[in-house]
Amino acid sequence: MIHATFFSYRLDFKEPSGTSRGVLRQKESFFLQIIEDGQEGWGEVGILRGLSADDTPALETQLSWTAKNIHLGLEELFAANQMFPSIQFALEQAFSHLKNGFCHFPSDFTLGRASQAINGLIWMGDQSFMMDQIEQRLAEGFKTLKMKIGAISWNAEKILLKGIRERFSATELEIRVDANGSFELDNAVKVSGYLSDIQVHSIEQPIPAGNNAALAKAVRLMQIPIALDESLIGLFSLEKKCQLLDDINPPFIILKPSFIGGWGGSNDWVTLAEERGIQWWATSALESNVGLNAIAQWVFTKKNKIPQGLGTGSLYTNNIPGPLQVLNGEIKMRNDANQGWDLSVLRSNILKQ
């Protein structure tokens, strides 16, 4: 006999974290639990309010239907949730956990023998706050920094970027910037000239998603490579995914499994990108350690040497304790992937239902 349930869980940030959509103090997730023959499987529904394609009033109704029909199995439920990519990813995780524990993709990574390079994230804020973060990330040993831009004046952001590059050459430290669609085309082209001068690696989503013609021009005119992020959200068919890549031809795409249909959806994007010579990396969508673990293990199997965006496990005061750790700019397991988990906070929420 198999049954399932779900509940909402709010992750509390240790410090307010600035984004282009405001300051985050909490992040809502849902957790799906499957029980079969005394075994449990957990999956995280990792939405971001205001950004996820499935951030709709229908999400909880769909989650309830999915839990009630868990007997249909992963394949049928995955197809039934095409418009709810975060539920698709939770289903993949939960059915895998039911079978394999938290060791979704056995490898040297899950045994704690190998690590994956990641970037250090610099949140938006005033100049002094951002500089403090930069100093902290450098002290932590990161060799790649991702800095969000567009929150303060461009002149102030230029000073920050210049200060980093004066201390570290491009061979010593890779710099990425994430604009979250904050520029118009003309400004994006102008900004790219300075970013090229200081050897910035790439810029994420310089122009808002949906304006494919402008993004295609940006790819041609900007002086540093573009990485598409938000543009991938809400594209559910292979036809639309192909059209996006063919219309814009970006140098990079960024995969957030919770936004694009989990491992299955991410694999589709990887295949399409590699067929076209487009490179990619993955980032978390601020999931707890449950979702982060699922993404990190999947990424490792791809043997992608580009530093990934997976350094979010230490953001919360009430994260789900697990074996993931970040050392010297790399994420790895303290020990075996099935050891070191404390699911008591999740189980206690089930009892409250």
Closest residue by Cα to residue 44 from 61, 30, 34, 33 = 30
Cβ–Cβ under 8 Å, residues 282 and 295: yes
Report the DSSP beta bridge partners of residue 121. 146
The burial class, CB within 10 Å (0-12 / 13-18 / 19+), for 74 is middle
d(CA 265, CA 41): 21
Spot the catalytic one: 27, 143, 148, 332.
148
CB contact at 8 A, 295 and 281: no
Q: How far is CA 76 from the centre of its chain?
A: 26
Q: Annotate 52-84 with DSSP letters as a single string.
A: STT-STHHHHHHHHHHHTGGG-HHHHHHHTTT-
Region of 142 on the Ramachandran plot (φ > 0 left; ψ -120 to 50 alpha; else beta): beta
256 counts as catalytic: yes
Number of H helices, E strands in the chain: 12, 13
Residue 148 annotated to the active site = yes
Strand ranges inside 47-168, DSSP E: 116-117, 120-122, 144-148
Selected catalytic residue, list 27, 241, 256, 332: 256
Among all residues, which ones are annotated catalytic?
148, 256
